Amino acid sequence: SVEVRQELKVIPAQVKVVKHVRHVYACRHCEHHEAHTPIVTAPMPTPVFPGSLASPSAMAYIMSQKYVYAQPLYRQEKHLERLGVPLSRQTLANWMLYGAHQWLHPLYERMKEHLIRQEILHADETTVQVLREENRAAETTSYMWLYRTGRDGPPIILFDYQKTRAGEHPKAFLAGFRGFLHVDGYAGYNQLKPEVTLVGCFAHARRKFDEALNALPPSDRNKNVAAKIGLGFCNQLYAVERDLKEASPEERYEERLKRSKPILEAFSVWLHQMKDQVLPKSTFGQAVQYCLNQWESLTNYLKDGRLEIDNNRSERSIKPFVIGRKNWLFSNTPRGAKASAIIYSIIETAKENNLNPYNYLTYLFERLPNIDLKDKDMIDQLLPWSAALPSNCRVNQK
């Protein structure tokens, strides 16, 4: 008989120096007879960062460690030191800046062109600290905006760094977009009207009633209190959505009119009744007022079966940035923050298209220095949803 025991063997990261040797040929006979000397130089791949030790795989590794696994550069500096490679964090930061602005930026701009053509998008924003912004204190809050596609089309996720939370930023970024935009209750998005129809987020509305219920003494939470009734309306709407998860857009549209619209109408009547009976500054009063203020956008999801009841899709997409921020804390400069926005865009879009981020970045840094970056057809072949990508870029491909 044969006994088989399996173990996982881990092979740690290794760093090797690869020498590129290029031969240059000249005709010695021509040289001796003082004739014109033809010189032939063997072809060599264009380096990803001329004058540096960076290779495509090295740049991809540092980038994926920071932006996929939230490993700050100072930790990577120490790790490389233990591997016998003395690279300063400033050197690594220069690699990130060069890789993002020189090579990934054309992909980012092309992805944005594809994004604007969609009919349904999601948007969200979160804070980021940038230390060296002109005429601003180091502790001043800046913002990272997120824009992404909805259920349809290839997944595209784009981050955009801006100094403020002003509504002019999404208006400028989404210039040319006509369609539905899923958002939270932030008033700045109103600047996109009337070209864009805002679709509100019932997850925010539900959360506010949940908070109001949890603010009550534990003995009151099981009673039929008003906050529980508001939460119940939201839960009924979500129950319909769960039933329609696999439905076609046409079926979802019809069923929502049949099942969700009556719930929303009853909810609206109840909200108006509650409005004059609650303290506006109380947790419950704020939940009621939020729904009344947002009612038009909250009910806009009834207009199209492709729309969603909430903006959770973009909240999930912005989470990797929020987790990374807890580790690396801040960006040094606006150029660094913009580089981070570009890199997160490429990596998060790659993940949603079922790509291995490290393998994909390595492939990009091998190909991009050797193509015409202004050729949109060439760039399209390298985008995360392109069928032309090699199989090793894809997850679960052998």
Domain ranges of the chain: 46-113+334-393, 201-305
* Mean pLDDT, residues 96-110 taken together: 98
Q: Is 130:142 a contact under the CB 8 Å cutoff?
A: yes
What distances in angstroms separate CA 73 from CA 76, 88, 358, one per listed residue? 5, 9, 16
Does residue 118 register a pLDDT over 60?
yes
Instruction: Return the pLDDT at 19.
Output: 65
Distance from the first to the final alpha carbon of the chain? 31
Ordered alpha helix ranges (H), the chain: 28-32, 56-67, 73-82, 89-98, 105-116, 168-173, 202-214, 226-243, 249-255, 261-275, 283-293, 295-299, 312-328, 334-352, 357-367, 376-380
- What confidence tens digit (pLDDT) does each residue in 219-241 have? 677 777 899 999 999 999 999 99
- The pTM (predicted TM-score) of the whole model is 0.89
Instruction: Give the helix/strand (H/E) hosting 146.
Output: strand 141-149
Tokens of 202: 């019932």
Instruction: Return the pLDDT at 281.
Output: 86
Does residue 267 register a pLDDT over 70?
yes
Does residue 196 register a pLDDT over 90?
yes
* Mean pLDDT, residues 267-296 taken together: 93
Parallel, antiparallel, or unpaired for β 179-182 and 120-129? parallel
Least confident of 8-22, 60-74, 99-113, 355-369: 8-22
Does residue 40 register a pLDDT over 70?
no
CA pair distance 15, 90, nearest whole angstrom: 19
